[in-house]
């Protein structure tokens, strides 16, 4: 398919906080969420139809489960449900003593562990942490403190894990040990100045480059493994939240956005779902093994 780096509007959803796109290769559909609207969306690539269903709390991230259904980073912890939306239940509580926090972005790794972090509802510095849900149901704290836990991704060789703390205005890189899911030697990959925007969700392509949504700047940036800015995609909305690769060949980049607090006269498509074909492929989404 011919590369087309100009993002097109797919769904004019007017989501409060569109986030967390995840490609479901088996069904040819994209899952994504609206945190503020307490909705999980499903976009059918073949028909162009987008449907959604409600969940009881704010949802920060979703991942497919190998056994079927979903695992979700909900406001108060990790939840699971079946694909027909039944059986919604909390699998493990997170920060039960901190109701002023909620869970945010997350992603499964290649061994079936689900990583997701937290943030303060008022975006207080140092309020959050990054957690790992193992298939057994055990929850481990992996990084603390965190300002606003956000995008996650792994290099193709699984030797690196990338992680965005929005309030630190950085994307960091860890050495990663995939068998045990251990991280070490944290270093800065790239910084986003406060006057430009906030580093938000991210994904990694097959060449090992990191695609980062810059919230407030209306951009998705592609960084090299060494941290160099290789290119910038510009969108017609300022609050860009998260990119993810999908499509039959994983050569389509889907991008979510937020409409909360945006003047609709200035940005009529804020909160929409966008897509472009950047000329590079992504990696399949991993699934939770619990």
Report, as ranges of residue numbers, the positions in the chain whose pLDDT lies below 70. 1-4
pLDDT at 1: 44
Q: CA-CA distance, 61 to 285, in Å (whole number)? A: 13
Does the predicted model carry a pTM greater than 0.85? yes
pLDDT tens per residue across span 187-243: 999 999 999 999 999 999 999 999 999 999 999 999 999 999 999 999 999 999 999
- What are the residue boundaries of the structural domains of the chain, listed by start? 4-277
**Which overall architecture, per CATH, does domain 4-277 show?**
6 Propeller (2.120)
List, edge to edge, every strand of the sheet that includes 160-165: 149-154, 160-165, 170-177, 182-191
Structure tokens at 223: 């960084």
Q: In degrees rounded to 5, what are phi and psi of residue 196?
A: -90, -45
For the chain, the C-alpha Rg in angstroms (whole number) is: 17
- Which of 76, 105, 172, 200 is catalytic? The answer is 200
pLDDT tens per residue across span 94-105: 999 999 999 999
Q: Reply yes or no on whether 97 is catalytic.
A: no
pLDDT tens per residue across span 202-215: 999 999 999 999 99
All residues at 6 or more sequence positions from 208 whose CB lies less than 8 Å from its CB, including other chains: 155, 156, 157, 225
């Amino acid at each position: 398919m011919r590369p087309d780096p100009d993002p097109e509007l797919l769904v004019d959803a007017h989501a409060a906080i569109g986030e967390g796109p995840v490609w479901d290769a088996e069904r040819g559909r994209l899952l994504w969420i609206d945190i503020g609207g307490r909705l999980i969306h499903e976009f059918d690539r073949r028909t162009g139809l987008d449907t959604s269903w409600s969940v009881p709390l704010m949802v920060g991230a979703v991942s497919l489960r190998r056994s079927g259904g979903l695992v979700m980073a909900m406001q108060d912890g990790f939840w699971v449900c079946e694909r027909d939306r039944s059986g919604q239940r909390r699998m493990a509580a997170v920060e039960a003593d901190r109701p002023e926090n909620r869970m945010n972005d997350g992603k499964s790794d290649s061994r079936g562990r689900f990583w997701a972090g937290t943030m303060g509802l008022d975006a207080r510095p140092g309020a959050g942490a990054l957690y790992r849900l193992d298939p057994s149901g055990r929850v481990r704290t992996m990084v603390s403190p965190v300002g606003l836990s956000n995008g996650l991704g792994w290099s193709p060789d699984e030797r690196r894990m990338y992680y965005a703390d929005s309030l630190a205005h950085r994307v960091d890189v860890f050495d990663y040990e995939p068998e045990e899911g251990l991280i070490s030697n944290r270093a800065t990959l790239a910084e986003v100045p406060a006057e430009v925007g906030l580093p938000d969700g991210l994904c990694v392509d097959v060449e090992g480059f990191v695609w980062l949504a810059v919230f407030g700047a209306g951009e998705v940036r592609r960084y090299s493994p060494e941290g160099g800015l290789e290119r910038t995609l510009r969108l017609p909305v300022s609050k860009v939240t998260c990119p993810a690769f999908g499509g039959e060949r994983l050569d389509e980049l889907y991008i979510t956005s937020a409409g909360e607090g945006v003047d609709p006269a200035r940005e009529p498509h804020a909160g929409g779902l966008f897509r472009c074909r950047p000329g590079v492929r992504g990696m399949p989404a991993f699934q939770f093994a619990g």
